[in-house]
C-alpha cells in the first residue's frame, strides 16, 4: 500500500520538471492525479504515459480563473472528489537585477511573473477550495530557497517567492482546521524554467555544479517528490503554515559559496 492510496490530487505545471516528478510519485504512491498543463504537447505526453484511470489532464493557463475552475471540474468528473491541490507551475527571471529591468518593461515583467508564480497559486487554491473543504484536504505550494534567502534569483523572482511563503502562512490560518496548507522550498533543481517573455528571456538551464553545493551532489526533481507525497498524505497533517527548506544547505552556505575548497577541505561523500 502507498501513503497516498485513494487520494485524489490536482497538480499545476505537471507536464515537466518537478511537476512531472510529483505526478509520477503521487501515482506510484497510490493517488489519482489531475494535471493543469499549459503545453498541449506535454499534456499529450502525459496522457500517453499514464492510464486515464490514473491521470486526467486539462490544458490551460494557471493565470486564468476559468481554466483553474475547469481543471477542478475535470478532476471531480474523473475521480469524484479532490483531496490535494499542488500549486507548482512557475517561471523565472533569469536573475535580472532591478537595474537590468528596463523601466518601460518592468510593469509587464512584474505582471507576467507574479501572474504565474503568485496569482496562479491563489487562483488554483480558490478554485479547489470548496472541494478541499469537503474532504478536509491539503494545499501544497512550490516555494523556493528564494522564499527566504536573497541571491538565488532576481528582484522579481525573489519577491514573488517571498509572497508564496506569506500566502502559505495566511491560508493556513484562514483555512484551519479543515485544510492544511504548507509549502516546499527546493534549492537548485536541474530543470528548465521559462524566462519572462516581457524581457525576451529564454529558458533558464544553468545552475551550480555539485562542487558548489554543500551536500556535494546535484539533486533531481525525483529527489524532492517524496516530500510532497508525505505532506499530501494523512501523515503530513501534523504540519500547517510551514515552509519546508529542501535546499541541500545552500541557504546556510549562501550564494557566495564557492565549494568546500574555500574552507580547506573537500566534501565528504
- Sheet order of strands, 55-59 included: 55-59, 32-37, 8-12, 84-87, 138-142, 180-186, 243-246
Catalytic residue among 92, 157, 188, 228: 157
Q: Measured between alpha carbons, how far is 214 from 208 in angstroms, rounded to an integer? A: 11
- CA-based angle 170:182:87, to the nearest 5? 95
Within a 10 A sphere around the Cβ of 54, how many other Cβ atoms? 16
Q: Measured between alpha carbons, how far is 95 from 156 in angstroms, rounded to an integer? A: 8
50: three-class secondary structure by DSSP: coil
Q: Measured between alpha carbons, how far is 195 from 212 in angstroms, rounded to an integer? A: 23
The DSSP bridge partners found for residue 84 are 9, 138
Indicate the pairing of strand 55-59 with strand 180-186.
unpaired
Assess whether 157 carries a catalytic annotation: yes
Q: Measured between alpha carbons, how far is 67 from 189 in angstroms, rounded to an integer? A: 27
Please identify every residue annotated as catalytic. 157
Amino acid at each position: 500500500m502507498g501513503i497516498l492510496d485513494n487520494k485524489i490530487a490536482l497538480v499545476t505545471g505537471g507536464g515537466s520538471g518537478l511537476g512531472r516528478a510529483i505526478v509520477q510519485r503521487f501515482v506510484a504512491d497510490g493517488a489519482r492525479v489531475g494535471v493543469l498543463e499549459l503545453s498541449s504537447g506535454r499534456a499529450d505526453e502525459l496522457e500517453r504515459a499514464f492510464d486515464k484511470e490514473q491521470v486526467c489532464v486539462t490544458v490551460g493557463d494557471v493565470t486564468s480563473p476559468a481554466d483553474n475552475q475547469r481543471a477542478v471540474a475535470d478532476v471531480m468528473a474523473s475521480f469524484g472528489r479532490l483531496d490535494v491541490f499542488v500549486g507548482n507551475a512557475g517561471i523565472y527571471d533569469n536573475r535580472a537585477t532591478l537595474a537590468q529591468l528596463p523601466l518601460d518593461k518592468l510593469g509587464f515583467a512584474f505582471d507576467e511573473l507574479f501572474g504565474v508564480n503568485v496569482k496562479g497559486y491563489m487562483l488554483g487554491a480558490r478554485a479547489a477550495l470548496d472541494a478541499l473543504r469537503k474532504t478536509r484536504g491539503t494545499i501544497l505550494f512550490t516555494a523556493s530557497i528564494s522564499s527566504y534567502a536573497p541571491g538565488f534569483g532576481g528582484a522579481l523572482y525573489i519577491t514573488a517567492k517571498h509572497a508564496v511563503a506569506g500566502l502559505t502562512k495566511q491560508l493556513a490560518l484562514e483555512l484551519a482546521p479543515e485544510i492544511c496548507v504548507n509549502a516546499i522550498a527546493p534549492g537548485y533543481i536541474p530543470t528548465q524554467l521559462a524566462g519572462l517573455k516581457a524581457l525576451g528571456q529564454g529558458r533558464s538551464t544553468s545552475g551550480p555544479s555539485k562542487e558548489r553545493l554543500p551536500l556535494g551532489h546535484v539533486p533531481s526533481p525525483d529527489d524532492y517528490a517524496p516530500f510532497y507525497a508525505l505532506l499530501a498524505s494523512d501523515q503530513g497533517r501534523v504540519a500547517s503554515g510551514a515552509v519546508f527548506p529542501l535546499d541541500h544547505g545552500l541557504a546556510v552556505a549562501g550564494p557566495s559559496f564557492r565549494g568546500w575548497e574555500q574552507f580547506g577541505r573537500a566534501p565528504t561523500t
